[in-house]
Amino acid sequence: MTVSPDSPSDLTRRTVLRRAAAAGLLATPAAGFLAACGDDGSTDGATGEKTKDNPFGVAKDKGLEVAGFDGGFGKDYFEFNKTKFSGKYGKAEVKYSKLILTDYQPRFYGGNPPDVLNNSSPETIPVGNLVKGDQLVDLTELLNSDSYDEPGKKVKDTLVAGTVESGLHDGKPYTLNYAYSIYAHWYNQTLFDKEGWKAPKTWAEFTTLAEAAKAKGIAAYTFQGIHSWYIHNVVNEWIWKVGGKSAIVAIDHLEPNAWKSEAVKGAVEHLAEMVGKGWVQAGAAGLDHTTTQQAVIDGKALFIWCGSWLEGEMAKTIGNAKLSVAAPWDITTADKAKFGTIHAAPGEGFVVPKKAKNTAGGLEFLRMMLSKESARKFAELTKSLPVVKGAADGLTISSALTSASKAAAEAPEVITWFYEGWYPTLQKAVGTQATELMAGRITPAQFMDEVQKAADAVAKDDKITKQKRTDA
């Protein structure tokens, strides 16, 4: 079956939750999602007896294969849940990948996918394509099942607001997003305390700080150059900051010349200003994520944009550095979004392939992951928030986690966009052109021209299903 590469895909860790206010979400951090059914509403691959304790009818000793992404959250939480599943149902195996698309898309085509897939990496499989090809289990049965360790509660009722919505495709749940990520600019609080610096709230304050850092041979800014997804997020956040929600809604809806608005112009001109004034780490456009993230830890750069997995990802080299969150500072003196507005979302998506050998086991593995015990272990191991309500309550395991939670809880508004999941080629164009801009190879006007061409191509392509925000 041939499908467009721009078919709507899931909202992974790199996308945004729909309506949830950060304060409400973080008051009770949570995780959740739905589970698999066959076309008749029954679970595929269920050969064991269905009971209250085994709602999907998992057969013992059938074996389970989990495809895990070996990224910022690491492997330990997979191993915890593998042991948990194996103790009840027999051997489970986790195979780790750095590029999910490359390693696992061929297995969908071959009809032998894993039982659970962590569809999160620099190259993910577009969920829209899988849904059109009838390759994924609708997770409704999981959502409606009993919580693994909270008697009297259904799985869906244990999840933070916005989690279910973030995994919907054409109104049905196909993705379980497991981590609640706070996205922002991060800085080394240890360095700032030493120098007597404070995170800026305005562009003028950032300018003063950038010049002070430059005088000491420190770059004010860096980014994960060879992974363009990171800088595309900065562009979107700054567009929202300057133009408010309406500027991003116009982009999501492919409105004519949405990428040539004053909000886009203000955002990219300020990014270009950083380059022109020598505030960006030299050569960052050609460096990878760990190298540039380490530059902040080592005091060679002040700020880098990343998700709240940053501390866990850099745990082996972080030393005595303490990482803190800076919400997007005011870009202009007339920004429509208030200071403190932040980008936060459920992410780190999991799916259950419909043609897997043990879909019942795949659903049960996710139900176990959504237990409060497993979600709390995820927080302890990764220093990141899960989507299960209350799972991380009382944990004081990380200055970065504390800082991120506080920033999101105090946010007057939560930044969201959807085109990234709906139209992957447009997202790629934004990232590519933003990288070129940050390398000083194109101008803001050229950025807007090239990205608008990409948006127009998507808008004119009748093979691509067009989507609309429900919160516009």
DSSP string, 232-264: HHHHHHHHHHHH-HHHHHHHHTT-TTGGGSHHH
**Whole-model pTM?**
0.75
Q: What is the signed CA dihedral for 74, 76, 80, 83, rounded to 10 degrees?
A: 100
Domain assignment present for 7: no
Q: Are residues 190 and 176 in the same domain?
A: no
Q: Are residues 137 and 125 in the same domain?
A: yes
Domain assignment present for 469: no
Domain assignment present for 11: no
User: 203 near 332, Cβ under 8 Å?
Assistant: yes
Residue 46 is predicted with a pLDDT of 56
Q: Are residues 207 and 66 in the same domain?
A: no
Residue 445 is predicted with a pLDDT of 98
Helices 76-89 & 359-369 angle (0-180, nearest 10): 120
Q: Which domain holds residue 386?
A: 22-181+345-406
Separation CA 240–CA 354 (nearest Å)? 38
Q: For every one of its 472 residues, what pLDDT tens digit does the chain have, with 9 covering 90 and above?
A: 333 333 333 333 333 333 333 323 333 333 332 333 333 334 455 578 999 999 999 999 999 999 999 988 999 999 999 999 999 999 999 999 998 999 999 999 999 999 999 999 878 898 888 998 999 999 999 999 999 999 899 999 999 878 898 888 888 999 999 998 889 999 999 999 999 999 999 999 999 999 999 999 999 999 999 999 999 999 999 999 999 999 999 999 999 999 999 999 999 999 999 999 999 999 999 999 999 999 999 999 999 999 988 988 898 999 989 999 999 999 999 999 999 999 988 889 999 999 999 999 999 999 999 999 999 999 999 888 899 988 888 877 777 878 887 888 888 998 989 898 889 899 999 999 999 999 999 999 999 999 999 999 999 999 998 988 878 7
Domain assignment present for 5: no
Separation CA 425–CA 451 (nearest Å)? 10
Tell which of 386, 406, 426 closes a domain: 406
Q: What is the pLDDT of residues 144-170, one digit of tens each?
A: 999 999 989 999 999 987 889 888 888
Query: Which CATH number characterizes residue 395's domain?
Result: 3.40.190.10
Q: Are residues 376 and 244 in the same domain?
A: no
Q: Are residues 242 and 370 in the same domain?
A: no
Q: Are residues 102 and 230 in the same domain?
A: no
Q: Which of 182, 181, 220 is nearest to 200 (CA)?
A: 220
Domain assignment present for 378: yes
Domain assignment present for 13: no
Separation CA 392–CA 30 (nearest Å)? 8
Q: Are residues 370 and 275 in the same domain?
A: no
Residue 165 is predicted with a pLDDT of 85
Q: In the chain, count of helices (H) and strands (E)?
A: 19, 12
Q: Are residues 36 and 90 in the same domain?
A: yes
Q: Are residues 101 and 145 in the same domain?
A: yes
Domain assignment present for 17: no
What are residue 300's DSSP bridge partners? none
Domain assignment present for 377: yes
Domains contained in the chain, number = 2
Which DSSP helix (H) or strand (E) runs through 117? strand 116-118
Q: Are residues 329 and 349 in the same domain?
A: no
What are residue 385's DSSP bridge partners? 180
Separation CA 384–CA 244 (nearest Å)? 28
User: 16 near 343, Cβ under 8 Å?
Assistant: yes
Residue 45 is predicted with a pLDDT of 58
Q: Are residues 122 and 196 in the same domain?
A: no
Residue 3 is predicted with a pLDDT of 32
Separation CA 6–CA 425 (nearest Å)? 6
Q: Are residues 332 and 441 in the same domain?
A: yes
Residue 39 is predicted with a pLDDT of 38
